[in-house]
Amino acid sequence: MSFSNTNKAYRTYPFFFNTFFLPANRLRKQMKEIILFMALIFSAITFAQQKNITSIDSSAVTKESILYQKNAHASYYHDKFNGRKTASGKRFNNDDFTAAHKKFPFGTILKVTNELNKKFVIVEITDRGPFVKGREIDLSKRAFMDIASNKKSGLVYVTIEILK
């Protein structure tokens, strides 16, 4: 009769076994919790950003508009303003279709048309400005680049219409 302990069910481990392997299990568990927490934070940030995106009705182009000004000078925001709060309280994003105007109420929807190539964008007023003499409206970079015929210029002559 042999007393060798070959059955794995009866195998005993040395007293220091848990000392070496238990922390690794805890570390794995903590890493899983950290990854889950980061995923939760990332999804919350993404949701918050999507909530701040202004949805502009595509049928707004066919709605009635009132001519506000022709031959207006339009420029665009510098990249340094990206992420900063605007006068309306929203965070500015150069990839949105937004604009700054001195007089229009926040939330006003405008149709801004380039007079040279007749391209237009629909923008929402979210900020005050421009504060440069002779300029009528500041567009977000995306809105400006969509209507600009010369992408390197910083100024475009536009027609501004108020959409109802």
- Each residue of 107-161: pLDDT tens digit? 999 999 999 999 999 999 999 999 889 899 999 999 999 999 888 888 999 999 9
**CA geometry: angle 130, 136, 138, nearest 5 deg:** 50
CA distance 29 to 111: 54
CA distance 122 to 102: 18
CA distance 66 to 104: 13
| Single-letter code of the amino acid located at 99 | A
Q: Coil, helix or strand for 90? A: coil
Please report, for residues 23, 26, 36, 43, the alpha-carbon distance to residue 30 in angstroms, rounded to integers and kept in the order given: 10, 6, 10, 20
Q: Confidence class of residue 78 from pLDDT cuts 50, 70 and 90?
A: confident
Model-level pTM? 0.62
| Residue 63 DSSP code | S
Backbone angles phi, psi at 106, to 5 degrees: -60, 140
